[in-house]
Amino acid sequence: MAERMRRLLRRSAAWVRRLGATGTVGLLLGFAVLAGAVVGPILTPYSPLAFVGGPFDPPSAGTPLGTDVIGRDVLSRLMAGGERLLGLSVLATAIGVLGGTLCGIVAGYRKGFLDEAIMRGFDVLLAFPQMILALLFISMIGPRAWLIVLLVAAVHGPQVARVMRAATLRVAEEDFVRFSEAIGMSTARILVSEILPNLTGPLMVELGLRFTYSTALIAALGFLGLMDDPSVPDWGMMMNENRIGVGSNLWGVAAPAMALAVLTVAINLFTDALARVTLAPASAEDGADAEPDIAPLAAMPLRMDMRP
């Protein structure tokens, strides 16, 4: 057991070294923000709905970031406000990237009529202004968490599909894909086992970009007061509520804005470094017993099992 733990620690340390300084900084910053959003509601000094002072009181010993527009603790609302925002962002990003990736690799590999049908449908969706489309559906159906997730995912799908289709067109011409076709491997197996592993780099970049865009768009909807439950704090709503008191207590607006900015920078740094690690071979210092989680498919030998 101890030997397995040592091996795991060595592999983890080697993987962090491969991320580099910027990737490690992004990982630590992102983990800090995400951990604060998850654990924050438990550790808040006050209830996010409790009145602890006057409107826009400056920072003090009991309220390190002061109070908001109606006297609630800004720090407590900041710690409790990230949970819903980041939860919806994760769901929207996962659905949008998964759907866009699936459509993109199918369109890029099959080509022909299916390619045209998928991409032209996405072109129609891209023609609509994203924020106006979101406001239209929310005004018709009402502010619902599931609707916000689906709308943000629908915004991501066409853009992810275009990137993954372009990458698939390049990978589909490689010799290992031609060999898989020659031995009768099924289309689904080719897409999953041969093409998708070669798209890890652009996929990591897209995940980072789409997640940061999800947080920005959902925070904008919160700023406009279009979230499903106005009593639940979120960072976008906090900026809207406290903008009139910036001169009295800046932290009501600055704290959630800084949290969003730090998360955006952290995710971009980490995903860019992860994309480089994905495309780079493992270094010799990773250890002879290390089994790299990610290896470039171009360096992998062709399988000769001859099974369809």
pLDDT score for 280:
58
Domain-located, residue 16: no
Q: Which of 141-150, 211-220, 271-280 has the lowest average pLDDT?
A: 271-280
CA distance 12 to 233: 36
Phi, psi of 70, rounded to the nearest 5 degrees: -120, 20
CA distance 185 to 15: 33
Please compute the mean of the pLDDT values over residues 213-236 and round it to a whole number: 85
Number of domains in the chain: 1
Q: Identity (one letter) of the amino acid at 292?
A: P
Domain-located, residue 162: yes
CA distance 224 to 155: 18
> Does position 12 have pLDDT exceeding 80, yes or no?
no
pLDDT score for 297:
39
pLDDT score for 192:
85
Domain-located, residue 297: no
Q: Residue 294: which pLDDT band, with cuts at 50, 70 and 90?
A: very low
Q: Is the dihedral of CA 216, 207, 159, 140 positive or negative?
A: negative
Domain-located, residue 80: yes
Residue 75: domain span: 24-57+64-282
Burial class (CB in 10 A: 0-12, 13-18, 19+), 117: exposed
Q: At what angle do helices 145-171 and 200-223 cross, to 10 degrees?
A: 160
CA distance 23 to 26: 5
> Does position 305 have pLDDT exceeding 70, yes or no?
no
What CATH number should be reported for the domain holding residue 261?
Answer: 1.10.3720.10
pLDDT score for 278:
65
Q: Per residue in 19-50, pLDDT tens?
A: 777 778 888 888 888 888 888 778 888 888 88
Domain-located, residue 15: no
Domain-located, residue 294: no
Cα-trace Rg, the chain: 23
Domain-located, residue 307: no
Q: Residue 258: which pLDDT band, with cuts at 50, 70 and 90?
A: very high
Helix, strand, or coil (residue 73): strand
Q: Per residue in 127-181, pLDDT tens?
A: 888 888 888 888 888 888 899 999 999 989 999 999 999 989 888 888 888 888 8
CA distance 66 to 168: 52
CA distance 233 to 69: 13
pLDDT score for 67:
92
Please compute the mean of the pLDDT values over residues 240-264 and round it to a whole number: 90
> Does position 285 have pLDDT exceeding 60, yes or no?
no
Domain-located, residue 267: yes
Helix, strand, or coil (residue 260): helix
Q: Model pTM?
A: 0.79
67 DSSP β-pair partners: 73
> Does position 295 have pLDDT exceeding 50, yes or no?
no
Q: Per residue in 55-109, pLDDT tens?
A: 999 998 888 999 999 899 999 888 888 888 888 999 999 999 999 999 999 998 8
Average pLDDT score over the chain: 81
